[in-house]
Amino acid sequence: MKRDPIQDMSILIVDDSKANTTLLKAILNNEGFTCIDNSVNGENTIKKLEETKVDLILISSVLSHESGITLCSVISSDLRYEDIPILIVTADSKMQTLRKSFENGAIDYISKPINSVELIARVQAHLIRKQIMDERKTSAITDVLTKLYNRRYFDTVFDRQYNKALLEDKYLTFFMIDIDNFKKYNDNYGHQKGDEVLSSVSETMKSQLRRNGDYIFRLGGEEFSILLLDIPDNYCLKLSDAIHSAIYDLNIEHKLNENYGRISISIGVSKVKVNKSISKFDIYNSADSALYEAKKTGRAKSVFTKLG
Element (H, E) at 227: strand 223-229
Q: What's the pTM value of the predicted model, to 2 decimals?
A: 0.72
Asked if residue 146 belongs to a domain, the reply is no
Whether residues 220 and 81 share a domain: the answer is no
Task: Specify the pLDDT at position 97.
Answer: 85
Percent of the chain topping pLDDT 70: 99
Residue where one domain finishes, among candidates 109, 139, 169: 139
Whether residues 107 and 163 share a domain: the answer is no
Whether residues 25 and 83 share a domain: the answer is yes
Whether residues 285 and 235 share a domain: the answer is yes
For residues 285-292, give the mean pLDDT.
97
Residue 250's contacts (CB-CB under 8 Å, 6 or more residues apart) are 200, 201, 204, 262, 263
Asked if residue 262 belongs to a domain, the reply is yes
Whether residues 113 and 193 share a domain: the answer is no
Query: Catalytic annotation on 196?
Result: no
Measured between alpha carbons, how far is 163 from 160 in angstroms, rounded to an integer? 5
Whether residues 181 and 211 share a domain: the answer is yes
Question: Rounded mean pLDDT of the chain?
Answer: 94
How many structural domains comprise the chain? 2
For residues 258-272, give the mean pLDDT.
96
How confident is the model over 74-116, as pLDDT tens digits? 999 988 898 999 999 999 878 888 899 999 999 999 999 999 9
Asked if residue 62 belongs to a domain, the reply is yes
Q: Who has greater pLDDT, 242 or 65? A: 242
Whether residues 83 and 223 share a domain: the answer is no
Give φ, ψ of 170 to 5 degrees: -120, 165
Element (H, E) at 307: strand 302-307
Whether residues 123 and 163 share a domain: the answer is no
Q: Are strands 223-229 and 171-179 parallel, antiparallel or unpaired?
A: antiparallel
Asked if residue 145 belongs to a domain, the reply is no
- Catalytic pick among 135, 196, 222, 223: 222
For residues 220-244, give the mean pLDDT.
94
C-alpha distances in angstroms, 219 versus 106, 143, 255, 280?
A: 35, 9, 25, 16
How confident is the model over 29-44, as pLDDT tens digits? 999 999 999 999 999 9
Q: Who has greater pLDDT, 233 or 266? A: 266
pLDDT band at 1 (very low <50, low <70, confident <90, very high): low
CATH of the domain at 125: 3.40.50.2300
* Domain span holding position 82: 5-139
Give φ, ψ of 92 to 5 degrees: -100, 100
Task: Specify the pLDDT at position 138.
Answer: 85
